[in-house]
Amino acid sequence: MKNNLSLRIVINILIVISILHGWWFVALPLGIVGVWRFPYYFEIIAAGFAYDAIFGSVAGMGVYGYLGTMLTAGSLMFVMISKKVLRR
C-alpha cells in the first residue's frame, strides 16, 4: 500500500512539473499511466483544468476554452466504468 501511494505521489509531482513547463507530451503519458494504474485517479482532471487555464484559454472563449478538458473528463469516466465492468 505504501509503495502504491508513493508511486502515485511521484507521478502527480511529475505531472505538475510538466504542466508548469508546458510539456503536454510528458504529462499525457504520465496521466494515462495513472488512469490505468490507480483506481479513482481524478487528479488528472485537475491537471487538465490547470493546463487549460495556463495555456489553453483564449479571452472571450468562456467555457469553450475548457472543452478539451471536459471531453477528457468524460472519456476518463468511460474508461473507469469500462474497467469496472471488464474486471468483474
Q: What does the pLDDT look like over 20-49, one tens digit per residue?
A: 888 888 888 998 888 888 888 878 778 877
Helix (H, G, I), strand (E, B) or coil at 5: helix
Residue 81 has pLDDT above 60, yes or no: yes
- Confidence (pLDDT) at 1: 57
| CB 63, CB 71: distance < 8 Å | no
**Range 10-18 average pLDDT:** 91
- Alpha carbons 46 and 37: distance in angstroms, whole number: 17
- Confidence (pLDDT) at 57: 64
Tell if the pTM clears 0.85, that is, is over it: no
| CB 8, CB 34: distance < 8 Å | yes
Q: Is 48 exposed, middle or buried (0-12, 13-18, 19+ CB in 10 A)?
A: buried
